[in-house]
Structure 1
Amino acid sequence: MKKTPIKSVVKALLELQNEGKSTTLLGIGPMSHNLLQASFELARDYDFPLMFIASRNQVDMDELGGGYVNSWNQQTFVKAIRNMAKDVNFDGLYYVCRDHGGPWQRDNERNAHLPVKEAMELGKKSYLADIEAGFDLLMIDPTKDPFERGKVVPLKDVIERTVELIEYCEQERKSRNLPEIGYEVGTEETNGGLTSTEVYETFILRLQEELGKKGLPMPTFIVGQTGTLVRRTIQAGKFNFKNAFELAQMAKKYGVGLKEHNGDYLDDVTLLEHIPSNITATNVAPQYGTEETRAYLKLADLEQKLVKHGLIEEASRVKDTLLVHAIKSERWRKWMEGDQVNLSVEEIMKDDTLSLEILDIAGHYTFNNDEVKAEIDKLYENLRKVNIDGQRFVVEYIKRPIRDYVECFNLKGSSTRILSKIQSSQLQGTGVN
């Protein structure tokens, strides 16, 4: 069956907004097989489209260093998603998306201060692997420039590099006779501030002009900063409804959807504000990884009680193993603030309170570690002895926060509404296809 392009889905959503039937799509950072399972089961039961968003650090070509999530490259990532959909009998809409693709988007490339030409070539190589693997949406993000640390990359450079990368991707896609894909672009790296409507429209207009000159498609999403910002395991930003609404209207004026990043840990009121603000999609990633870590820790607490009750002989070391590898990963630095960003691993190991906080923040970065996986297997085995399905508990635990977003974002039944709108528009000849 031919897959409905993500661009058609967004066009349908923009039309539904005009009818008072707004829905915000949820972009899910795929931290594990358990998260894939939880997402597909919810989407199957509640009838909504899935978007899996993977950064280059998470999923990339083996020759470029691979990814920390299950050692997935583009091909194995797509295969894992397809297999999970089949395993849970999901036959609805789902989209594989590149989050923050492009030059300097791998930590090692940025830290090496690669020159522009080399960084762009590596970004293109990664995009080509995305395209060949069957990705549906590519985020074109040339805003992370090591030579502009602490500064906003000039708009001229962002537009020039964005157009060059879209042109490359379209040429490669067409030369392989592959289906239409969508593009996501942005004006700057999300930092908790706000994108002004003036800068946003300037970016759209200039991008529209440059893409038009080359006969290239307009993007499906344009990222706008609505005030969201993730630090530690909290929403440290402040959502600005007025700004979000104005950005959404501006994007819609040009036939594209507003995409919000850093949507983790939002309270229910803020989540509900997404519907009247007409935000078309929101990305959430570290929150769901943190929830999986918390699920393992709850099961580890249960294990200790089972040992005391004499029901199992020896508990796993899942908590200690997760903790040590989370701290050693140093990936928590991205989420810290102030002087703690520069603390050494040794300093953190000596601070029990801070160590546990780092575990909460960065436990999910270690799920693919062999020692961690061995301890999780032992945890599950111990629980099976007392008729507890630990893996099922973890999946259901992850579902809880995702379900909050599904309910507040009006996602229930949205796949049916979207497909109905697409079919209706095709019959009326309005061009949604």
Structure 2
Amino acid sequence: MNQTSPVQDIVKAHRRGDAVGLYSVCCSHPTVLGAAMRVAADYDTPLLVEATSNQVDQFGGYTGMTPAMFREHVLALARERGFPAERLVLGGDHLGPNAWQELDAATAMAHAETLVADYAAAGFHKIHLDCSMRCADDPERLPDEIVAERSARLARIADAAAAAAGHPPPVYVIGTEVPIPGGEASLVDAGAPTTPEAARRTLSVHCHAFLHAGLHGAWRRVIAMVVQPGVDFDHSQVQHYTPAPAAALSSFIADQPGLVFEAHSTDYQHEIALHQMVRDHFAILKVGPAATFAMREGLLALCSIEDELVPAAESSRLMQVLDEVMLAKPAHWRKHYHGSSEEQRLLRRYALSDRCRYYWGEPPVAAAVERLFANLRRRAIPLPLLSQYLPDQYLEVLQDRLSTDPLALVEHRIGLVLAQYARACSRNMAAVGKPVAIC
């Protein structure tokens, strides 16, 4: 198997001065991944798909998938869509003791070792090592040195597991200063950009921990640091990237050979901001809720079309079913959405934090989506209705570039979001060369 990493190739090209980066789609939903594959094909980019430590683990995570199962899930979709497997890169996000913080450190880290070994053995190539979370018997504030030592420990496990499975050695991302996953409860809580001093300390303690552990080769494969570039979102607002406050941070990484920044929670940034972030060395852009938010927008638009075309007795009632399931199983949103019952209803359906993304796999919801699609496939969607509810897709249909199949319409809606990331990351992409198989 070819040992060259397309991720490292892109980072090297960026550090040579090419205006390129890598966008990461953090989602397991097949409709989002299908849209991502279409965008990657259109823009001739690699497709980096990442799973988080609470989404996919050795016990199944909240998706019910182990790392090996997730890999097969993505590869099966690629075969179905005709997307080349050699263009895929799998990544693991926040791999560490995150899911076991209520346990003592020894037990939590033992679980984390199994977690990272399973990810690496399954061919996940880009691994974010995150041991920043405090375990039950840890001190109130976890020293940076312990965080780094635990990360190095997991890198050793990942290297060995990848080698034993015949995969190329993983590349690593370090650092943890990120917005709350899925967005803040309020932008009042949003953070300023990481200081260069904090970034320098993170880099220094991790370097010392890796080299002290004899992991010189693994340290050479550390490609990025996670920092806060000053972007975030809450339920209804977006904190957009502003270059000036992040200028000192950008200058710091420019002096670190072979490294770029990884930016989390870049959802809902406007396209100019995405280009600016790549220019300023935030060269790995992660997106997740914005993609499922666009999917929900497309499905809701189709429900409006269904209401016009289908008798009420035959309707999918998709949005009502979704809300009923969310009310019956509130674990994924109750701690996040506050206010009156009406305010919570609006947040469940429309919030930018998009907590409804956790429910699309619930059997009643999935069945309602299938019924919606079946109802619309039995009827030709009139162009005026398409113009009313999906105007961007209407224009593509008029030019014979898009079918009126409901799945195609939703994927196109998602693709408009993801295409902004592809454009921000793929200028002068030819200079990087063709990606090679690592999956």
Cα distance, 1:382 vs structure 2:
0.5
Q: 1:134 and 1:128 mapped to 2: Cα distance?
A: 10
Cα distance, 1:365 vs structure 2:
0.7
Question: What is the TM-score normalised by the length of structure 2?
Answer: 0.82
* Correspondence 1:83 to 2:81: no
1:223-372 equivalences in 2 (<5 Å)? 223-232=226-235, 234-235=237-238, 237-252=239-254, 253-307=256-310, 314-327=314-327, 328-333=329-334, 336=337, 340=338, 348=341, 351=342, 353-360=343-350, 361-372=354-365
- Structure 2 residue corresponding to 1:398, chosen from 407, 414, 427: 414
- Equivalent residue for 1:39? 36
Deviations 1:179-219 (A, max 9, x none): 11111111434353221101211221222222123332221
Q: 2:326 and 2:228 mapped to 1: Cα distance?
A: 29
1:158-173 equivalences in 2 (<5 Å)? 158-173=147-162
Q: Secondary structure at the match of 1:138?
A: strand
- Equivalent residue for 1:93? 87
Cα distance, 1:139 vs structure 2:
1.0
Does structure 2 conserve the Cα–Cα contact (< 8 Å) formed by 1:139 and 1:184? yes
Equivalent position amino acid for 1:22 in 2: A
Q: 2:336 and 2:291 mapped to 1: Cα distance?
A: 15
- Structure 1: state its 5+ residue gaps: 423-433
Distance change in 2, residues 1:214/1:82 (3 Å): same
Q: Secondary structure at the match of 1:330?
A: helix
Q: 1:401 and 1:187 mapped to 2: Cα distance?
A: 26
Deviations 1:338-358 (A, max 9, x none): xx2xx6xxx63xx2x431321
Q: Secondary structure at the match of 2:8?
A: helix
Equivalent position amino acid for 1:320 in 2: Q
Distance change in 2, residues 1:335/1:262 (3 Å): farther
Equivalent position amino acid for 1:135 in 2: F
Question: What is the TM-score normalised by the length of structure 1?
Answer: 0.83
Deviations 1:225-257 (A, max 9, x none): 11122322542x353424544434433414222
Bigger drift between 377-386 and 88-97 goes to 88-97
- Structure 2: state its 5+ residue gaps: 181-189, 381-403
Distance change in 2, residues 1:240/1:164 (3 Å): farther
Equivalent position amino acid for 2:409 in 1: F
Does structure 2 conserve the Cα–Cα contact (< 8 Å) formed by 1:223 and 1:260? yes
* Correspondence 1:379 to 2:380: no
% same residue: 22
Does structure 1 conserve the Cα–Cα contact (< 8 Å) formed by 2:224 and 2:260? yes
Equivalent position amino acid for 2:348 in 1: I
Q: Secondary structure at the match of 1:287?
A: helix
Does structure 1 conserve the Cα–Cα contact (< 8 Å) formed by 2:20 and 2:427? no
Deviations 1:150-205 (A, max 9, x none): 97632122112112221222233334443111111114343532211012112212
Does structure 1 conserve the Cα–Cα contact (< 8 Å) formed by 2:19 and 2:428? no
Distance change in 2, residues 1:250/1:94 (3 Å): farther
* RMSD of aligned Cα (Å): 2.7
Q: 2:244 and 2:156 mapped to 1: Cα distance?
A: 34
Equivalent position amino acid for 1:247 in 2: L
Aligned residues: 393
Cα distance, 1:120 vs structure 2:
0.6
1:46-125 equivalences in 2 (<5 Å)? 46-61=43-58, 64=59, 66-69=60-63, 71-91=64-84, 93-103=87-97, 105-106=98-99, 109-110=100-101, 113-125=102-114
